[in-house]
Amino acid sequence: MQLFLPISHNENSFDKDSFITLPENNDAINFLRSFFRNNCAISHFKACLYPNIIIQGPRFSGKTHILSILAEEFSAKFLSFGQIKNLEFLANLTKNKIYIFEDIDQIDDDEAILRLINFAYEREIFLIFSLQNLTNFNLADLVSRFKSIPIAKIDNLTINSIRDLLQALLINNNIYLSSSKIDFIIKNCQRNYESINDIVTKIINFNCEFLKQPSLGDLKNILS
């Protein structure tokens, strides 16, 4: 299971209130919620519009957080790679239930993923996959199958969203930086989720160690 960005850095990090909705993830959230709501409501598997869905987004973009919130709300279950390789375990999966299998582009076993898709369809089970990159697969049948699966995509961050995200994450941890300090961070960081996560973590650690808000000089050291 991946770590991810739009959370507060505390022990309740998977809760709904700590998730930060942005223009880049709003469509993906709505698409996923529609998938959960529609498929939990139907009485016949074959009546669903689509039995599988993919959530795609960069590292640390919040895929796990979104899925954790919806899994709790709709009683879905996460699957591990070891479980999908275990045919006896798969045989006991619950009909008409939603299962989530994360980071499938990090798994070097296309045949196992294709077998899971086929098994789930035969047993009338709904699947959600998460990944960063759809080009990491080589098995032709799997690549073809993915072309028919809808994608809920989390986009890369804009500058405005980086600003909103930085401020929200820091405020969630009782750290309040001026606009000039936020602008300094934006000008001197890589503009992606992973970089923002790393910077926020360093600022939080600084705050915990020195019990103060970082100065501009401190931020220069943190970003160096």
pLDDT, tens digit, 9 for 90 and up, residues 142-154: 999 999 999 999 9
Same-domain status, 121 and 172: no
In a domain, 23, yes or no: yes
In a domain, 168, yes or no: yes
Q: What is the pLDDT of residue 80?
A: 98
pLDDT, tens digit, 9 for 90 and up, residues 4-37: 444 344 444 678 888 999 999 999 999 999 999 9
In a domain, 2, yes or no: no
pLDDT, tens digit, 9 for 90 and up, residues 182-209: 999 999 999 999 999 999 999 999 999 9
| Domain's final residue, options 94, 124, 153 | 153
Judge contact between 216 and 223, C-beta under 8 A.
no
| Domain's final residue, options 106, 128, 153 | 153
Task: Select from 193, 188, 203, 184 the least CA-distant residue to 165.
Answer: 193
Same-domain status, 69 and 166: no
Distance CA 16, CA 177 (A): 25
Distance CA 14, CA 68 (A): 7
Same-domain status, 96 and 165: no
Could you identify the residue written with the tokens 């009338």?
A: 124
Distance CA 153, CA 58 (A): 9
Domain that holds residue 123: 16-153
Judge contact between 173 and 199, C-beta under 8 A.
no
- Read off the CATH number of the domain in which 21 is found: 3.40.50.300
pTM metric for this prediction: 0.91
